Amino acid sequence: MKRKYLFYLLLCVLACTACHSSGKSGKEETLYSGEIRIAVDESFKPIMEEELQVYQALTPEAVIHPIYCSEVEAVSLLLKDSVRLAVTHRRLTEEELASFHARKFFPESVRLATSGVALITHRNNPDSVITVEQFRRIMTGRMTQWKELNPQSALGAIQVVFDNPNSGLLHYVMDSICQGTALSPSLKAQKTNEEVIDYVSSTPSALGVIGANWIGDQADTTRLSFHQKVRVMAVCPTQETNTAHGFKPYQAYLALRKYPFTADVFLLVNDPKGALPTGLMTFLTGDRGQRILLKSGLVPATQPVRIVNVKDDF
């Protein structure tokens, strides 16, 4: 009887060990195999879908389930240990790091690429250039009419639209552009960057705020043309709206940081066992993953970028 009891106890121990070493699919999790969820800021959805398609073709034993959400939600999932890798516009804060350290976790913030915040308007909107200060005034409600940008404009009130209230794009605008000043209560929120593009394409008075990787024409391998449904504004770092000093979010201007609304993209990784999240991070920051970023219109963190001289058509 005692031997029988010990036999069943041994089976239970082995079962528990198997549960801890395997994912939901029962596959052992290693650098190249297993099943995990990752959290991705929605503004990076087109890029990550392409990255994961290639990664899973190269690593068939790995199953990745992306959760496309706001940046706030992505970091929250990481803090709760619901995911072990998140893609965001920012590093972990000191407070967030302290929370991990208190639980004996030591996550990394790894720079993945350089992106930017793009401003889009309706195709028929004649205003093609804006200064940093003008955009700041619009976002904080101190400039509300298109005629304040262009006295000849008949478009009326500026309807600013962005993806969602918890997005990394909006936090970048609040912290880096508006420098903590309260945003206008009249700003409109959609759910995704794609919805912002659709809204702007059908609303002549709209000004959309989207991720730079959403504006590229997928059919153009040079990445020098933009989305055909909307118009991309040039941004001047100075007070004067001089087209000679305005920049659009081309890769070269992002790489040289001449485009005023340039921002970095980070991988937040909490993977103490060095398993599949680390394997995915290695792919994304390696040669193949970085080439996909280059093709997408962003500036890869570890790959050289060829600077091409172009003539802007405002």
Same-domain pairing of 189 and 254? yes
In a domain, 105, yes or no: yes
| End-to-end alpha carbon distance in the chain | 86
Query: Per the domain annotation, does 4 fall within a domain?
Result: no
Regarding whether 149 and 274 lie in a shared domain, the answer is no
Range of the domain at 151: 116-262
pLDDT, tens only, 247-304: 998 888 999 999 999 999 999 999 999 999 999 999 999 999 999 998 888 899 976 6
Q: Are residues 79 and 180 in the same domain?
A: no
Contact assessment for residue 313 and residue 234, using Cβ atoms and an 8 Å cutoff:
no
Reading the block at residue 103, the tokens are: 């639980």
pLDDT tens, 10-29?
444 444 444 443 444 455 78
Backbone angles phi, psi at 92, to 5 degrees: -70, 140
Q: Are strands 299-300 and 108-121 parallel, antiparallel or unpaired?
A: antiparallel
| 16 against 143, higher pLDDT | 143
Domain boundary among 236, 262, 288: 262
Provide the whole-model pTM. Answer: 0.79
